[in-house]
Amino acid sequence: MKLTHLGHACLLVQTAGARLLIDPGTLSSFDHVRDLDAVLVTHQHADHVDVTRLGPLLEHNPGATLVVDADTAPLVADLPRTAVVARPGDRLTFGGCVVDVLGDLHAPVYADFPGCTNAAYLIDGGALLHPGDSFTIPAGPVDVLAVAVDGPWLKLAEAVDYVRAVGPRVAVPMHEGETADPAKYAGMLAAFSLEGVVRRLTLGEAAEL
């Protein structure tokens, strides 16, 4: 699998069977991406889905299926392409790639303040988990885990606990678009996680994982 971090929570995933783009938000650089099989959105927040730029992206990727969580669906209803609404328990197939939909809600921002739906995407049985803004833990093993390191809903200790709970071979830091020093957060995540697990990707460069 090849993984390209396109900023913040946006990842381009290239498996043997498909090309997937996850969370094309306002803090990410994805307009140039082509030949996609699917565009997947975890939740409705603008840093995870830039509705204005989503239309042109889909025009340049006519074969891509748009997949969104339930609360995002109304936001993309005016786009020319009908979205598939992902719900926990769904299994989706794109080319030779299988995506299982996990999760339920966005991690709490404060106390019991109501959150929005959040779809976590488990690719090819655990090859990659993109949890969006959640701490979803799948039933089985995960090879590569995308893990948020900054956000108004998150403290770094929770990110460390999440990596330790999931136990991936590789943890890729993300969700750092609003941070002045993302290397510091990635370094701290690495310092407190199991040795050798955390791998920070160079923005815009495909990495073989």
pLDDT at 201: 98
Write down the pLDDT at residue 194: 86
Q: Is the pLDDT of residue 111 over 90?
A: no
Give yes or no for residue 16 having a pLDDT over 90: yes
% residues pLDDT > 70 (the chain): 100
pLDDT at residue 146 greater than cutoff 90: yes
Residue 58 clears pLDDT 90, i.e. is over it: yes
With a cut of 90, say whether residue 14 has pLDDT above it.
yes
Q: Does the pLDDT at position 76 exceed 90?
A: yes
Please give the model's pTM, rounded to 2 decimal places: 0.97
Locate the domains of the chain by residue range. Answer: 2-202
Residue with tokens 């993984």: 3
pLDDT band at residue 113 under the 50/70/90 scheme = confident
CATH 3.60.15.10 fits 2-202, yes or no: yes
**pLDDT value of residue 190:** 96
- Reported as a single tens digit per residue, the pLDDT across 162-196 is 999 999 999 999 999 999 999 999 999 999 998 89
Where helices occur in the chain by DSSP H, the ranges are: 51-59, 156-166, 182-192
Instruction: Identify which has the larger pLDDT, 133 or 111.
Output: 133
How does 3-42 read in b/e, with b if 16+ C-beta sit within 10 Å? bbbbbbbbbbbbbeebbbbbbbbbbbebeebeebbbbbbb
Sheet holding 84-85, edge to edge: 84-85, 65-68, 38-40, 19-22, 11-14, 2-5, 207-208
d(Cα 40, Cα 67) in Å, to the nearest integer? 5
